[in-house]
Amino acid sequence: MKILVTGGLGFIGSHTVVELQNEGFDVIIIDDLSNSSIDVLDGITAITGVKPHFEKLDLKERSKVEGFFATHNDIAGVIHFAASKAVGESVQKPLMYYENNINTLVYVLKEIEKLEHQNFIFSSSCTVYGQADKLPITENAPVKPAESPYGNTKQIGEEIIKETCKVNASLKSIALRYFNPIGAHPSTQIGELPKGVPQNLVPFITQTAIGLRQQLSVFGDDYPTEDGTCIRDYIHVVDLAKAHVVALQRLLNDKNESNFEVFNLGTGKGSSVLEAIKSFEKVSGQQLNYKIAGRREGDVIAAYADTNKANNVLGWKTELTLDDAMASAWKWEQKIRNK
Active site residues: 150
Residue 147's identity, in one-letter code, is E
Number of neighbours of residue 196 by Cβ within 10 angstroms: 7
DSSP-assigned states of every residue in 258-320: SSEEEEEES-S--EEHHHHHHHHHHHH-PPP-EEEE---TT--SB--B--HHIIIII------
Residue 145's identity, in one-letter code, is P
Euclidean distance between CA atoms 46 and 49, whole angstroms: 6
Strand partners, 125: 178
Q: How far is CA 25 from the centre of its chain?
A: 20
Q: Helices 201-209 and 322-337 meet at what angle, rounded to 10?
A: 50
Residue 58's identity, in one-letter code, is D
CA nearest to 232, candidates 304, 329, 130: 304
φ, ψ at 177 (rounded to 5°): -95, 105
Query: How many residues does this entry show for the chain?
Result: 339
Return all residues near 338 (Cβ < 8 A) that are at least 6 apart: none
Please report the sign of the dihedral spanned by the C-alpha atoms of residue 106, residue 107, residue 108, residue 111: positive
CA nearest to 266, candidates 129, 85, 102: 129
Half-sphere exposure of 280 (CA within 13 A, CB side): 30
Euclidean distance between CA atoms 275 and 51, whole angstroms: 38
